[in-house]
Amino acid sequence: MAKKKGAKYKCEKCGMIVVVDQTCGCAECDLICCDMPMKEVKPKAK
């Protein structure tokens, strides 16, 4: 799945967070850290 600008991803093992600063046009795109796929961090509800 393509990554959109502003999306945040977190490594569940080490806690590193990645923020996408340019939209990816790939059909399939994985962010890997500590040999595991990073999970998208959803915005918190106000």
CA gap 37, 28 in Å, rounded: 13
- The DSSP bridge partners found for residue 19 are 8
Cα–Cα dist 36/46, whole Å: 30
User: Over 70: is that where the pLDDT of 1 sits?
Assistant: no
Domain boundaries, given as residue ranges, for the chain? 8-41
Token pair 């059909």 is found at: 27
The pLDDT tens digits of the residues spanning 11-44 come to: 999 999 999 898 877 777 788 999 999 999 987 7
Q: What is the pTM of this model?
A: 0.76
Question: Residue 32 forms beta bridges with which residues?
Answer: 37
